[in-house]
Amino acid sequence: MRRSIFPGSFDPLTNGHLDIIRRSAPLFDEMIVAVLNNADKRPMFSVDERCAIIGEVLPTVDTGDCRMLVESFSGLTADFAREQKATAIVRGIRAVSDYEYELRMALMNRRLEPQIETVFLMAGEEYSYVSSTLMKQVFELGGRVAGLIPELVESKMREKLSTS
Ligand code: PNS
């Protein structure tokens, strides 16, 4: 049984995340989208909202025979991966600029849990500039983000803005 985790903040989920999920699914029997519950940050969506959005969008993604789960976690990614008996941590790389940060995290996670490998996947070039932070910023300032985030995320962001 090959189980992986795909950790991140997912605030919010983007089509770049979905691209990585689609690409990595054939490599695993099971993949847990692991949503970080980060108390330091002030997210747009609560961790429960982020999990619910991901849970609603995932069935629209072709993940073949890979069983998809969504879980939130606090603390270290390496600890969560070990607790879940995952053998791999999946991360997406969009551009060279991501590499240095991702390499440091992968090496630290390997030091913490030597038996768990980080697997990097290259995001589709059409998503090479898509990040949750950029999507929130552009959306809040009235720019178009259609095609870069799932429609459900866009409507949830609209709801958030109208109530804030
Ligand atoms: O995609 P993101 O939002 O940049 O995800 C970053 C994430 C959640 C993978 C990273 O911040 C993380 O692993 N946080 C949990 C705390 C931890 O394990 N820190 C040490 C990493 S070596």
Q: Are 5 and 77 in contact (CB under 8 A)?
A: yes
Give CA torsion, residues 85, 114, 122, 12, to 10 deg: 50
pLDDT reported for residue 46: 95
Ligand 1: which atom is nearest the Cα of residue 8? 5
SS3 53: helix
Round to the nearest angstrom and report the end-to-end CA distance of the chain.
Answer: 44
pLDDT reported for residue 115: 98
pLDDT reported for residue 41: 75
Ligand 1: which atom is nearest the Cα of residue 73? 15
The residue assigned the tokens 């969560």 is 80
User: What is the block-wise mean pLDDT of the chain (164 residues), using blocks of 10 residues?
Assistant: 97 98 98 91 93 98 97 98 98 94 98 98 96 96 96 96 83
Please choose, from the candidates 81, 68, 77, the residue with its C-alpha nearest in 3D space to the C-alpha of residue 8: 77
- The sign one gets for the Cα dihedral 41, 142, 122, 73 is positive
**In this structure, which long-range contacts are made by residues 154-160, counting pairs with CB atoms below 8 Å and at least 24 apart in sequence?**
156/12, 156/45, 156/49, 156/53, 157/12, 157/44, 160/44, 160/45
> Is 156 tagged catalytic?
no
The 10 Å Cβ neighbour count of residue 72 is: 16
Which residue in the list 3, 24, 132, 156 is annotated as catalytic?
A: 132
